[in-house]
Chain A
Amino acid sequence: MRAVTILLDGVAYGMILFIISVGLTVTMGLMRVVNLAHGAFAMLGGYVATALTLKGVPFLVSCLLAGAAAGAAGALAEVTVFRPLYRKAELQHVLLTIGLCFIAIAALTLFAGSTPLPAIVPDWLDRMVDIGYRSYPLYRLFLIGVGAVMALGVWLIMERTLFGAKLRAAVDDAQMARAVGINVSRLFFLTFTGGCALAGFGAAVGAGIMPLEPFYALRYLVYFLIVVAVGGMGSFRGSLAAALLIGVVGTAGRYIVPQFGGFLLYLLVFGLLLWRPNGLLPPKSAA
């Protein structure tokens, strides 16, 4: 039974990582942009959700609006700063997006101060429920549910729609996709916007576990990047697998050897990437 608890905890944590990171994996896979500002878009969503919830907007509505706000910010950024970036080298991406992070951190500090934000998870969600053998936090079950719905949604879009087919084609070979008449820059725009929206939504929903503060953009960035790299750039299934793996293995590791969690995670990442440089489940192009 203890194993079930660890599994639930790990999956719940993995699901937040997945929701926030899935947009990053698609943009990094599709556009080859090393986007270190992804955490900043997530953070922006979290801040919007907090502001709305404190104004009395219901939690779930605020989370959706947070996604919309982060998506809008992403759309704006795609058109203005990311588009000229696609042709440049990776280093330029790193730099520009670190710059965006700095700007976001400074701006949010200016508007909302440097203290962590108040909790927004409502009471009806933040309580214990009986799951048969013990009582368990409903919030974590909720995260698992939301994550599953999101994963299913993204999967349906990727596998069952024309848009998804075009997207997969472009991830595998952008040049070829362009040659057969797919409007790749429109795809870029839509995926980037969608990815940012998911990140904003994820940060809002997951605020109960990852508290929001101006340094959020950099504090959790490493985890998002790990999910993307371990899963395989551009691979939706890979990022789900990686997020769950990090969630479950990380949780179990901490449960069994509490002190060595930090080492374990990075050694695991290091080993995995040496073993499979293109990630666990890379898209065809990289295989």
Chain B
Amino acid sequence: MNLDKLIKMANQIGDFFEAMPDRQQAVIDVAGHLQRTWEPRMREQLCAAMDGSAAARLKPLVRDALISLNKPAAPVGKSTSGG
């Protein structure tokens, strides 16, 4: 898939949750949204690109969410804003 497009889409999600007062919850919600609505190959491609230049183009909130997705016990199942 087009990585630029995935980065743009992920940052759009970040734009929405960035306004939330609880940043920790916002990270969980971004991760939850990605996990509940993105097909795995899209998430995997974006996560894989985190090692390269993509990381710098992602909002910090989205970066943190993607990092949380790579952890074995990501709390995405408890997301309050899944799709």
User: A and B: real partners?
Assistant: no
